[in-house]
Structure 1
Amino acid sequence: MTTIQRVLLIAAMGGLMEAVRSVAVAGSGDRVRAAATVLGIGFVLIVSHLVGKLFAQIRLPKLTGYLAAGIVSGPAVLAYLDGDVVGDMKLVNGVAIALIALTAGSEIDFRAMRPLFRSVAWISAIAVCGTALALSLAALLLRPFLPFLAAMPIDATIAVCAVIGVVVVAQSPAVVVAIRSETGADGPVAQTVLAVVVLADLLVIVLFAITSSIATAVIAGSFDAGAALTRLLWELFGSLGIGAMIGVLLALWQRAVKRGLDLFVLTVCFVAAEVGQRLHLDPLLMMLAAGMFVENVMHSGHELRREFEAASLPVYVLFFTVAGASIHLDAIPTFLVPTAVLVLVRGLGLLFGTRVAARVADAPEKVVKWAGFGLLPQAGLAIALALLFARTFPTFGAEAGTLVLGIVAINELVAPALLRWAYVRSGEAESERTASEATAPPVPATR
């Protein structure tokens, strides 16, 4: 399908939604709402998918296209998807969050990371954790510019700022893999970047579980150190243990049944998201542990991802479009200053933190200089955490989610281009390696 055909089809779908809205405006009741939700899902699956393709043609992430489609078609702009429809479509959020965690876990290969462990460990500790702390302090200093923090007691504010710091620091292995495939990058920089962002997923999810549990107890005004520790241990180790059991189940299905694995994975993700929350377990940790078990014990993470990749596409399209439609555009002017400051703090923290950590780890000079750019991209995990933030803290989570989604949107637009440039400048992009080999002097033959 050509670009013109995609644009015309998007326009035709918009016209159809406009016509349906004008006819249905007099209707009301559950049947009309159900019909509107079904129509909205069909509209999103077609239009957002096409918009994602258009964004990919101009070398922007498809996820940015899905978000943009959600913003334009949501209640704040064209209102093809009203508030009720967007609320009904949020049922997919739990499945998508669990799928993102399962994918992240299945990419964590501890064997592949072993040769780079020193560099990865130092960068994770200094750059990722250090930047999360810097972002938390920045959010605390920006308290006068964040209305949802202004009325909180100082202890609750500190706890919530810690959660914000963890959410905002999240990286994106998906974008890193895509840019690496596109440029053909290979070498110390590309290998270190991929190992760090994959391990950072594990680190960020664990830190989110810890900080959100503490913040929930502090905000409730009933912080009991013993009870909080018990709940935290259950949430961490209970989620990891049950997640490992889910990994066993997935591996058995993968080896014994083989057929229908994609639908089985979606069902497991839905159950983990809905039941896990009621049992005070963390769906992100559960499915992360499941993915790590399949990859590191059964050594079949790649095959698992390939099996459910096609089935997960509609879920991701709906998830990111709903995320875009949920953004409160009227609140964006309020968050312009904090968004800009936090983007700047995050970028500087990751770039300079990586330089310091790489020098401490005695990494190659080009890793010191260029690896930090690989930590800048954001995508699925950050958005999943933003929506989980909103669910965990319903009284102010929507406003905090708008702040985080604004930060993610800026990084999605800018960071992939910076990473592509870093691979080229480091000499690890395929075109640069080929040119270097072509101009290198011939090696004298030895007898």
Structure 2
Amino acid sequence: MDLLLLIGITLLLGQVGAGLLRRIKVPQVVGYILMGVLLGKSALNWIRPETLAGVTSIALGLIGFTIGSQLYFPQLAKLGKSILYISMLEASGAFFLVWFSVWALTGEVYQGLVFGALASATAPAATVDVLEEYKCRGDLTTTILAVVGIDDGIALIIYGIAESFSKVLFMPEVNQNLFVSLFEPVREIGGSIIVGALLGLVFSRILRFFGQKSERLSVTLAIVFVGCGLAEQFHLSLIMTNMVIGLVVGNLVPREVRRLNEVVTGFTPPIYILFFALVGARLDVRLLPVMGVLGIVYIIARAAGKFGGAYLGAVISHAPVVVRRYLGLALFSQAGVVIG
């Protein structure tokens, strides 16, 4: 099918699906994904993931920038202790609970380690889209954004450690060095912070020279695209790189970035529709039964670990009651760094 025709059909059906589900109080992202399932390999097979591959990078870059631009240092200072405790405990809670659950089910320690490491990651895309749709603000929203942003970095480190131990258990003849295994995730995180900070500084300095909305949108997209390109070129975290860009700009020129977010928000809906439609298109529902008991155990153990860890972290750090009750529910979605 012609690419432009496919994009047009996807945007139209995605918006229709979102509108229908909105009538019954279901977030629009579910409509986007369901239409992707219809157009993807589960049904019509019109959308092939490689056809719109660039959309994923653009969407994740914009999502990362959106997260960072809404994290202000005064708020982070107020909630910093809670964010740190929650981030560490929700990731480690999912890791340990899935590790032991899969180990108990399969009898293989290395399988438990791998699945546990994968369970620690949280995908921010759907969460951010829901927060934007309902225009959420406050301590809970700030904590969610910070936790899902930090989560990728924690997950990379956990995976580096788990992978090293798994190889020792599964392939004892291979000499594994823990420090070598940890170097890659640390390099990825550190490189993302450095590149993002430099681009954020440049962006904050040149932003005042562009007063028109169209100019600001173009410059913002240029910086985000450069961030995405450098992240892919040097194998860095795409979301974290752009999150740091947004964080730096949002705190150096907060008044400017608020107006900037209004402009960017008007541009992102079509990108999000295509992105989540691709998520649905990649899903082959015929394979769901294949996951069997292992898949069910993984889902339940991960959800329990995420929610329990987030709740425990919130209690220990004396986070607001609303954060204790609801933050864990925002951490169930998963993709992104896990697939990578």
Q: Which residue of structure 1 lines up, in the alignment, with residue 266 of structure 2?
A: 310
1:206 equivalent among 148, 153, 156? 153
Shift of the 178–74 alpha-carbon distance from structure 1 to 2, 3 Å rule, reads closer
Q: Within 5 Å, give how 1:225-264 maps onto structure 2.
A: 225-259=178-212, 260-264=215-219
Q: Which residue of structure 2 lines up, in the alignment, with residue 371 of structure 1?
A: 324
Shift of 1:246: 1.4
Tell me the secondary structure at the aligned position of residue 280 of structure 1.
coil
Asked if 1:293 is matched to 2:293, the reply is no
Q: Which has the larger radius of gyration?
A: 1
Shift of 1:124: 3.5
Please report the TM-score for the alignment, with normalisation by the length of structure 1.
0.64
**Contact kept in structure 1, 2:79 and 2:319, CA below 8 Å:** no
Shift of the 301–161 alpha-carbon distance from structure 1 to 2, 3 Å rule, reads farther
Q: Which residue of structure 2 lines up, in the alignment, with residue 60 of structure 1?
A: 26
Counterpart-to-counterpart distance in 1, 2:122 and 2:236: 22
Asked if 1:43 is matched to 2:9, the reply is yes
1:97 equivalent among 51, 60, 75? 60
For residue 56 of structure 1, what is the amino acid of its counterpart? R
Shift of the 333–236 alpha-carbon distance from structure 1 to 2, 3 Å rule, reads same
**Contact kept in structure 1, 2:95 and 2:117, CA below 8 Å:** no
Counterpart-to-counterpart distance in 2, 1:112 and 1:271: 28
Shift of the 213–127 alpha-carbon distance from structure 1 to 2, 3 Å rule, reads closer
How far does the alpha carbon of each residue in 1:118-176 deviate from its partner, in whole angstroms, 9 at most, with x for none? 444443343454234323444555558xxxxx9xxx64x45532431122586835535
Tell me the secondary structure at the aligned position of residue 2 of structure 2.
helix
Shift of the 320–254 alpha-carbon distance from structure 1 to 2, 3 Å rule, reads same
Shift of the 46–174 alpha-carbon distance from structure 1 to 2, 3 Å rule, reads closer
Q: Which residue of structure 2 lines up, in the alignment, with residue 130 of structure 1?
A: 93
The CA RMSD measured in Å over matched residues stands at: 3.3
Shift of 1:291: 1.2
Counterpart-to-counterpart distance in 2, 1:223 and 1:349: 29
Counterpart-to-counterpart distance in 2, 1:226 and 1:125: 21
Q: Within 5 Å, give how 1:73-222 maps onto structure 2.
A: 73-79=39-45, 81-83=46-48, 86-141=49-104, 155=110, 157=111, 160-168=114-122, 172-176=127-131, 178=133, 181=136, 191-213=138-160
Shift of the 304–206 alpha-carbon distance from structure 1 to 2, 3 Å rule, reads farther
How far does the alpha carbon of each residue in 1:309-360 deviate from its partner, in whole angstroms, 9 at most, with x for none? 1222211111100110011222111225444434433443344445544443
How far does the alpha carbon of each residue in 1:394-424 deviate from its partner, in whole angstroms, 9 at most, with x for none? xxxxxxxxxxxxxxxxxxxxxxxxxxxxxxx
Counterpart-to-counterpart distance in 1, 2:9 and 2:317: 51
For residue 200 of structure 1, what is the amino acid of its counterpart? V
1:69 equivalent among 23, 31, 35? 35
For residue 93 of structure 1, what is the amino acid of its counterpart? T
How far does the alpha carbon of each residue in 1:188-224 deviate from its partner, in whole angstroms, 9 at most, with x for none? xx84422321221232121233245557777796744
> Which consecutive residues of structure 2, in runs of 5 or more, have no partner in the other structure?
none
How far does the alpha carbon of each residue in 1:32-63 deviate from its partner, in whole angstroms, 9 at most, with x for none? xxx52222111111111221122122111111
Tell me the secondary structure at the aligned position of residue 235 of structure 1.
helix
**Contact kept in structure 2, 1:120 and 1:192, CA below 8 Å:** no
Sequence identity of aligned pairs in percent?
20
Tell me the secondary structure at the aligned position of residue 204 of structure 1.
helix
Shift of 1:68: 0.2
Shift of the 119–276 alpha-carbon distance from structure 1 to 2, 3 Å rule, reads closer
Asked if 1:278 is matched to 2:278, the reply is no
> Which consecutive residues of structure 1, in runs of 5 or more, have no partner in the other structure?
1-34, 145-149, 182-189, 393-447
Please report the TM-score for the alignment, with normalisation by the length of structure 2.
0.82
**Contact kept in structure 2, 1:239 and 1:281, CA below 8 Å:** yes
Counterpart-to-counterpart distance in 2, 1:42 and 1:197: 33
Counterpart-to-counterpart distance in 2, 1:284 and 1:91: 14
**Contact kept in structure 2, 1:127 and 1:354, CA below 8 Å:** yes
Higher relative CO (Cα under 8 Å, sequence separation at least 6) belongs to 2
**Contact kept in structure 2, 1:253 and 1:261, CA below 8 Å:** no
Asked if 1:334 is matched to 2:290, the reply is yes
Q: Which residue of structure 2 lines up, in the alignment, with residue 324 of structure 1?
A: 280
Q: Which residue of structure 2 lines up, in the alignment, with residue 440 of structure 1?
A: none
Shift of 1:245: 1.2
Aligned length: 330
Q: Which residue of structure 2 lines up, in the alignment, with residue 186 of structure 1?
A: none
